[in-house]
């Protein structure tokens, strides 16, 4: 697990090498093993200096989140953390130099070990990441990161890194002061030895252990730094509405800890860290953003015994915003793209979308002109279906119209090999119905991307009634190849994401129709942790598109169609020509060069009720309606894994990450409490809140969706 060797010159090398892990992590086994080797090096008088490094491609990935996810005993966790803190202080006060030879990624607790060393040297590996990203899973650095980093580079530079969880490449880490030197990988250990021999003896005492130490830029009360905390707290509140305890705890750690000595500061950090470990927000974020997302990215539900599909050529039908985005990410993955539209001008316009994205990256020096040109050369605009020959996969991204989709399906399949996959990017139309136009429905599948494709990480894979295991497996291979996160759902109208996302928007529209103040609706959505309010989201999606989908649904279902509570509001807005952001007029106005603002005409169109609901009630309606609809999706087997429902909700439409997703929200509230809340809402607002049989049966059996 931890190798230890001392050479003839008295240089000890402690090498992390956890045999049962692909990456080194800090856990209940590795921390004591490392502490044992540290103690041996300090006690051995023959040892003049110590190198800490890794035998794996990366240094240390950080703490084992499975261990932290299990934390319930705060006192026990505090004591376990104390052992780590004492060991790192032993390194700092050893009386002999320690150097971190960072050969690859060093994150979280892994980088905190580096901070305790007297010198940090990183290999010049552009794929390596260095930083303290704990805030991204609802935690804070618990191994001294909130105390050592500000003391090393100053509070003003350290706070953004801690609050945003930034991960830096070695050269960027050098510029920010996170490492002291960057060298070619093959010189890493030699440079570490050289520093120990030539400079180590002059650097035995950390700056914060020296008499008269001053934090670079001043302590939290200094004129230059005090405003950082005043403004920072206000900005945090504006951004998070208090939904995320971790950023505020980080601010408190830095403020309180940097007013006292390092040892007291470490105790302050420890108490905040243990408290965060026990919060539902941390458990939710660790579960969904780390474990569940990790399982999805590993293709946990990929059918077995299907050979991995290699892609060399993919066709995209439709060069609008979605098609152009799909073409871009596909070409970015090194795959040749045939981008087809009804006119060459439209197809070229789709390619120009990639040109614009890449030109910006070149200007920002994030890519080279040569790399841009190589990517663009992989996109071939055309109007000729014959050019699709040789494609292993074709994705249609045309209008949400059954007839148009059926036509392009038949025309594409006429030139494709029998083994080729045909996928639809539809967001609502059932895949099994669209597959009726296909000559080989077993090769037909849904690949639902989200806009803008280049930024949105999720792809919802929809399995039709006749979709084969092989097609599903090969579709998942494509999603992995383009570096997106897939979730797999079964066919239904709206599938999972569009169906549940629609309830958030629809509930906002329903409240507007009831006379609830638009500003109250919008602010409640953001206060709940959603990225934008439901009315703003409707504008983004396009009221015209929502109206078109509704009309198609009414046509498909006939007498079985049940109006949604916000239908009339949607009708009135479309009648007024207010169709959303793309037309610069929807629920909001979009003045040129100014911030959007709610349309004043809403007051006349939807008069305010005399009595307004409490903010908490509006939040409850907006959030519970999404979870209860998710429960119906699970009951109907549209979604077969609650973890994928959570990942899909967070990545697909920005469901509040602190709540962990639509299923984790039920788990956090507690099944009995959630059912009671739904029953109360159903009595007041209608059957859309009625808890499904699945939840009642689970509660009766004492079951829950998650163990922790």
Catalytically active residues are 448
HSE-CB for 69 with a 13 A CA cutoff: 17
What whole-number distance in Å separates Cα of residue 80 and Cα of residue 82? 5
Mutual angle of helices 30-43 and 74-92, in 10-degree steps: 30
Tell me what percent of the chain is helix, strand and coil, each rounded to the nearest 5.
55, 10, 35
Backbone angles phi, psi at 168, to 5 degrees: -110, 145
- C-alpha distance from residue 486 to each of 309, 394, 466, 500, 646 (Å): 16, 18, 20, 17, 12
Task: For residue 334, give the DSSP letter.
Answer: T
Q: Are 115 and 152 in contact (CB under 8 A)?
A: yes
What whole-number distance in Å separates Cα of residue 568 and Cα of residue 581? 20
CA torsion 122-126-127-132 (nearest 10°) is 50
Residue located via tokens 């980093």: 149
SS3 445: strand
Residues 6+ apart with CB under 8 A from 144: 85, 88, 112, 115, 116, 266, 269
Q: What is the chain's Cα-based Rg?
A: 28
- Pairing relationship of beta strands 588-589 and 597-598 according to DSSP bridges: antiparallel
- Pairing relationship of beta strands 485-490 and 106-107 according to DSSP bridges: unpaired
Task: For residue 225, give the DSSP letter.
Answer: T
- Pairing relationship of beta strands 11-16 and 2-6 according to DSSP bridges: antiparallel
SS3 615: helix
Please report which helix (H) or strand (E) contains residue 265, including its range.
helix 262-277
Cα of 235 vs its chain's centroid, Å: 21
Q: Where are the beta strands (DSSP E) in 476-562?
A: 485-490
């Amino acid at each position: 697990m931890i190798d230890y060797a001392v050479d003839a010159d008295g240089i000890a090398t402690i090498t992390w090498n956890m045999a049962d892990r692909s990456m080194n992590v800090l856990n209940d086994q590795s921390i004591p093993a490392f502490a044992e080797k540290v103690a041996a090096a300090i006690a051995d008088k023959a040892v003049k200096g110590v190198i800490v490094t890794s035998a794996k491609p990366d240094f240390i990935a950080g703490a084992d989140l499975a261990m932290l996810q299990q934390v319930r005993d705060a006192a026990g966790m505090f004591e376990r953390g104390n052992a780590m803190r004492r060991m790192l202080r032993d390194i700092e006060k050893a009386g002999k130099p320690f150097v971190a030879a960072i050969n690859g990624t060093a994150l979280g607790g892994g980088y905190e070990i580096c901070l305790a060393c007297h010198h940090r040297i990183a290999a010049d590996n552009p794929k390596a990441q260095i930083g303290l990203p704990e805030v991204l899973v609802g935690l804070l650095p618990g191994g001294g990161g909130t105390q050592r980093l500000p003391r090393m580079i100053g509070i003003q530079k350290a706070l953004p890194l801690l609050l945003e969880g930034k991960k830096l490449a070695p050269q960027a880490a050098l510029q920010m002061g996170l490492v002291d030197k960057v060298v070619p990988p093959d010189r890493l250990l030699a440079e570490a030895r050289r520093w120990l021999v030539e400079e180590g003896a002059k650097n035995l005492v950390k700056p914060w252990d020296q008499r008269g130490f001053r934090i670079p830029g001043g302590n939290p009360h200094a004129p230059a730094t005090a405003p950082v905390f005043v403004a920072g707290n206000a900005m945090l509140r504006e951004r998070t509405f208090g939904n995320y305890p971790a950023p505020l705890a980080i601010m408190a750690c830095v403020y309180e800890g940097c007013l006292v000595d390092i040892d007291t500061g470490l105790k302050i950090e420890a108490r905040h860290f243990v408290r965060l470990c026990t919060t539902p927000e941390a458990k939710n974020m660790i579960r969904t953003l780390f474990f569940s997302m990790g399982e999805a990215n590993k293709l946990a539900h990929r059918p077995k015994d299907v050979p991995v599909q290699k892609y060399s050529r993919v066709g995209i039908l439709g060069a609008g915003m979605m098609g152009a985005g799909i073409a871009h990410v596909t070409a970015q993955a090194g795959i040749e793209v045939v981008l087809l539209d009804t006119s060459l001008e439209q197809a070229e316009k789709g390619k120009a979308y990639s040109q614009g994205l890449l030109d910006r990256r070149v200007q920002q020096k994030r890519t080279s002109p040569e790399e841009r040109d190589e990517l663009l050369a992989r996109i071939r605009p055309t109007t000729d279906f014959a050019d699709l020959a040789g494609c292993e996969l074709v994705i249609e991204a045309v209008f949400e119209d059954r007839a148009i989709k059926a036509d392009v399906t038949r025309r594409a399949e006429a030139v494709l090999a029998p083994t080729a996959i045909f996928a639809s990017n539809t967001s609502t139309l059932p895949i099994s119905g669209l597959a009726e136009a296909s000559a080989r429905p077993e090769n037909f599948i849904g690949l639902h991307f989200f806009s803008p494709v280049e930024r949105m990480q999720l792809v919802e894979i929809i399995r039709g009634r006749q979709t084969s295991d092989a097609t599903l497996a090969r579709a998942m291979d494509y999603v992995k190849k383009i570096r997106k996160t897939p979730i797999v759902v079964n066919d239904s109208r709206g599938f999972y994401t569009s169906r549940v996302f629609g309830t958030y928007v629809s509930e906002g529209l329903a409240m507007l129709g009831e006379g609830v103040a638009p500003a109250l609706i919008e602010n409640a959505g953001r206060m709940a942790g959603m990225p934008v309010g439901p009315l703003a989201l409707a504008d983004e999606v396009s009221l015209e598109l929502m109206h078109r989908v509704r009309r198609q649904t009414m046509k498909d279902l006939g007498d079985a169609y049940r109006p949604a509570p916000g239908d009339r509001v949607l009708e009135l807005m479309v009648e007024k020509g207010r169709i959303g952001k793309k037309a610069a007029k929807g629920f909001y106005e979009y003045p040129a060069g100014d911030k959007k603002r709610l349309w004043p005409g809403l007051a006349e169109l939807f008069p305010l009720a005399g009595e307004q609901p409490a903010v908490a009630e509006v939040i409850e309606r907006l959030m519970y309606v999404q979870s209860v609809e998710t429960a119906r999706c699970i009951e109907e087997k549209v979604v077969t894994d609650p973890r994928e429902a959570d990942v899909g909700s967070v990545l697909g439409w920005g469901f509040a990450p602190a709540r962990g997703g639509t299923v984790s929200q039920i788990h956090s509230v507690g099944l009995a409490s959630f059912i009671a809340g739904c029953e109360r809402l159903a009595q007041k607002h209608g059957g859309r809140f009625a808890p499904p049989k699945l939840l009642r049966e689970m509660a009766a059996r004492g079951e829950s969706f998650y163990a922790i």
